C-alpha cells in the first residue's frame, strides 16, 4: 500500500536463465510442462528414446530446476547448488539431486547459452525502441479491470516472461509468473485482451 492506496508491481523480462531452461527442455526431449509450447528455431530431441524410468527421473529433475529458475525465492533448493560447466552462472543444480539432468544437458551448454543471449538481446532491443509501451499496456489493462469491477485493483505482483514460443498465448509458469509469446506481446490489441484474465485473477 502506498498512502493507503493499493499498488501493483509488474516485472517484464526475457530472462536468460528461463530461456536456457526451455532450450534444454526441448533438446533433451523433456515433455513437462505439457501446456507450454516449444521454442521457435530450436531443434527437437533427436537421441535414442530413453526407458520410461530414466525419462521420468530426468523430467522430475528438470521440473525442480525449472521451478528454481522461474521463481527462485519461492522454490529454494534443500541442498547446496553447484554450477554446471559451460553455462557460466546461468545453470546451478542441486548437489547430488540432479545427476541425470546434469549429464543430459552437458553437450548443449554453448548452444543453449548462445540462443538465450540472442533472444534476450532481441527483447531488450525491442523494449529500447518502444520506451514506456510496456508500462502503458499493463496500466490500461488494470484501469479496464477497475472499471469492470467498480473498485480499485488489489495490490499484486506479476512477473511476465516474454519468450519466442511457437504458439501465441499466455501461460502460467509459476504462482506469480506467466509466459507470453513475443509476437503476442508486440500486438497491442491482442495482448490487452490476453492479459485481462490474468489481471482479473490477481487484482
User: Is the Cβ–Cβ distance between 94 and 81 less than 8 Å?
Assistant: yes
Biggest CA–CA distance in the chain, Å, is 60
Distance in angstroms (rounded) separating the CA atoms of residues 80 and 190:
43
Per-residue model confidence as pLDDT tens for the chain (203 residues): 445 566 889 999 999 999 999 999 999 999 988 899 999 999 999 989 999 999 999 999 999 999 999 999 999 999 999 999 999 999 999 999 999 999 999 999 999 999 999 999 999 998 877 766 677 888 888 888 889 888 888 899 999 999 999 999 999 999 999 999 999 998 988 998 999 999 989 98
Query: Which residue, chain included where needed, has cell 526475457?
Result: 14
Determine if the pTM surpasses 0.85: yes
Amino acid at each position: 500500500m502506498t498512502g493507503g492506496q493499493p499498488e501493483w508491481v509488474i516485472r517484464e523480462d526475457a530472462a536468460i536463465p528461463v530461456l536456457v531452461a526451455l532450450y534444454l527442455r526441448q533438446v533433451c526431449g523433456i515433455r513437462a510442462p505439457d501446456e507450454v509450447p516449444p521454442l521457435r528455431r530450436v531443434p527437437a530431441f533427436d537421441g535414442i528414446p530413453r526407458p520410461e524410468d530414466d525419462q521420468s527421473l530426468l523430467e522430475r529433475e528438470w521440473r525442480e530446476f525449472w521451478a528454481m529458475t522461474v521463481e527462485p525465492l519461492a522454490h529454494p533448493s534443500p541442498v547446496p547448488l553447484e554450477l554446471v560447466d559451460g553455462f557460466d552462472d546461468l545453470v546451478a543444480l542441486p548437489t547430488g539431486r540432479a545427476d541425470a539432468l546434469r549429464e543430459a544437458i552437458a553437450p548443449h551448454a554453448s548452444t543453449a547459452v548462445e540462443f538465450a543471449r540472442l533472444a534476450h538481446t532481441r527483447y531488450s532491443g525491442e523494449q529500447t525502441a518502444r520506451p514506456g509501451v510496456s508500462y502503458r499496456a499493463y496500466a490500461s489493462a488494470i484501469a479496464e479491470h477497475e472499471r469492470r469491477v467498480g473498485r480499485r485493483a488489489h495490490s499484486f505482483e506479476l512477473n511476465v516472461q516474454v519468450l519466442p514460443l511457437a504458439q501465441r498465448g499466455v501461460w502460467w509458469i509459476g504462482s506469480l509468473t506467466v509466459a507470453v509469446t513475443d509476437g503476442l506481446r508486440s500486438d497491442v490489441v491482442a495482448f490487452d485482451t490476453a492479459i485481462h484474465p490474468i489481471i482479473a485473477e490477481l487484482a
